[in-house]
Amino acid sequence: MKVIPAIDLKDGQCVRLKKGDYDTVHKVAEDPVETARKFIAAGATMIHMVDLDAAKDGSHANYGVVERVIRETGATVELGGGVRSMQDVEAVLALGVKRVIIGSAAVRNPQFVAEAVKKYGDKIAVGIDAKSETVRTDGWLGDSGENYISFAERMESYGVKTIIFTDIDKDGMLAGPNFDQLAALRATVHCRIAASGGVSTLEDIRQLKRLGIDAAIAGKAVYTGKLALPAAIKEAE
């Protein structure tokens, strides 16, 4: 299992939200490039980046920051947030990003996912953000009404090889992931699953590993020092 540290970008800065609420935004680090360097030095082999501005309003203002992180650190990056068209996918890949995460657009336009997977294969991942078991969209502000498991099955049927599952109620709360929902997801789909939201202790890492989860995305716990990244990476091996 991999541990993947997260960098959420807003206005070019590293920030965190609580439960996806933009009103709770607070800066957690000065410089995304330096943050990425620290993550790599700690042993991270991939960095999970989310463009919060793009997720909310489609702005690409943070693309320059993403490109600089990749160019200056050599980091392997996956990026999500506001990817709504094949042009967006191409623009993100052109930054040097290794994996593009399609979120809200996968709900609204599933055919887009099918087309992207057909063209780019494993470079496409789908982010499933759930609250009370239904899939949320648009920076978590909209409720699709669709159950997260049936949605995951549909995405897998299109050839999606990686699903990033976030329980919104756990995100940024340092209270552990939603193991029950992750176990139900693992029992249903065969593709890779990355767990996001609430990962905050070595025991969380151990439990995710026992469930057969392929990756744990850690954000706030790493920034606050609650989860030591080198120890988490070692625990996951």
Residue-by-residue DSSP string for 74-111:
---EEEESS--SHHHHHHHHHTT-SEEEE-HHHHH-HH
Torsion angle of C-alpha atoms 155, 158, 160, 164, degrees rounded to 10:
-10
List the catalytic residue out of 51, 53, 88, 129.
129
Decide: 181 and 147 in contact? Cβ < 8 Å: no
- Residue 105: closest CA among 86, 133, 123: 86
3-state secondary structure of 132: coil
Whether 11 is a known active-site residue: answer no
pLDDT for residue 6? 97
Q: What confidence category does residue 193 fall into, taking pLDDT thresholds of 50, 70 and 90?
A: very high
3-state secondary structure of 17: strand
Strands (E), 68-206: 77-80, 99-102, 124-131, 134-137, 142-147, 162-167, 192-196
**Domain of residue 42, CATH code:** 3.20.20.70
As a whole number of angstroms, the distance between CA 76 and CA 57 comes to 26
pLDDT for residue 173? 79
Q: Which residue has the higher pLDDT, 173 or 44?
A: 44
List the catalytic residue out of 8, 51, 88, 204.
8
How does pLDDT run across 89-139, given as a tens digit for each residue? 999 999 999 999 999 999 999 999 999 999 999 999 999 999 989 998 875
Q: With a cut of 90, say whether residue 146 has pLDDT above it.
A: yes
How does pLDDT run across 197-206, given as a tens digit for each residue? 999 999 999 9
Domain count within the chain: 1
Whether 129 is a known active-site residue: answer yes
Arithmetic mean of pLDDT over the chain: 94
As a whole number of angstroms, the distance between CA 198 and CA 204 comes to 9
pLDDT for residue 194? 98
pLDDT for residue 32? 97
* Residues ≥6 apart with Cβ < 8 Å to 232: 3, 202, 205, 216, 218, 222
As a whole number of angstroms, the distance between CA 56 and CA 29 comes to 21
pLDDT for residue 30? 83
pLDDT for residue 151? 97
Average pLDDT, stretch 66-81? 97
* Residues ≥6 apart with Cβ < 8 Å to 105: 83, 84, 85, 112, 113
Q: With a cut of 90, say whether residue 16 has pLDDT above it.
A: no
Domain that holds residue 126: 2-236
- Rank 12-21, 170-179, 220-229 by mean pLDDT and report only the highest: 220-229
pLDDT for residue 111? 97
Put simply, whether the predicted model's pTM sits higher than 0.85 gets the answer: yes
Query: In the chain, what percentage of residues exceed pLDDT 90?
Result: 81
pLDDT for residue 139? 57
Q: With a cut of 90, say whether residue 144 has pLDDT above it.
A: no
Q: What confidence category does residue 189 fall into, taking pLDDT thresholds of 50, 70 and 90?
A: very high
